[in-house]
Amino acid sequence: MQVPENLSKFVGSWKGNYRLYLSWLEESIFNSETNALVDFTAKGRFLKIEYDWSHQEKPHEGLILLGQDKTSDKIIAFWIDSFHLSDKYMVSEGDQDENGNPSLKGFYAVPGNPDWGWRTMFDFHAEDSFKIIMYNVSPEGDEELAVEAVYTKMD
């Protein structure tokens, strides 16, 4: 594994807004402050994004490890989050778009139903900000926005 070269410039401390979308509720959009620490790990083979946020005054945190397979150039991510995944983890795989932004898809189990998908997109086009956008994907392929986190570099 290796870190895609264009992502190394995002190492540092970040702050921003975490927007959670729960479409099945009447009040379906929840905003909270978020902080992120981006750094290398595993001898520089992965980019680690540690972040926090809250929902209804309950704190949550997550971790994303991003790496690129040297043989296939596929982007691989390992993701845990205290709200979305509880005591589980998700592995996602994908590619970089023409601007070098990773777009990944993983799957999670829903008891008594087919697995659902989770698509994660990263927008690393700016020097002093980045976005993480996540979509819940039904077994039929319908996507709903689930998370939009926007970060700006801390001085």
pLDDT in tens, 8-30: 788 999 999 999 999 776 778 99
> Which pLDDT belongs to residue 7?
79
**What integer is the mean pLDDT of 128-147?**
95
For residue range 75-91, what is the model confidence (pLDDT) as tens digits?
A: 999 999 999 888 899 99
Q: Where are the domains of the chain?
A: 5-153
In angstroms, what CA-CA distances link 150 with 32, 43, 122?
11, 27, 10
C-alpha 59/C-alpha 110 separation (Å) is 24
User: Is the backbone of residue 146 left (phi > 0), alpha (psi -120 to 50) or beta?
Assistant: alpha
Q: What is the pTM of this model?
A: 0.92
Fold of 5-153: Lipocalin (2.40.128)
The per-residue pLDDT of the chain, averaged, comes to 92
Report the candidate in 69, 114, 64 with the shortest Cα–Cα distance to residue 90.
64
pLDDT digits (tens, 9 = 90+) for 104-137: 999 999 999 999 999 999 998 888 899 999 999 9
Quick one: pLDDT at residue 23? Answer: 77
* pLDDT, tens digit, 9 for 90 and up, residues 50-71: 999 999 999 999 999 999 998 9
Report the alpha-carbon distance of residue 155 to residue 81 in Å, rounded: 26
Res. 155: pLDDT tops 70? no
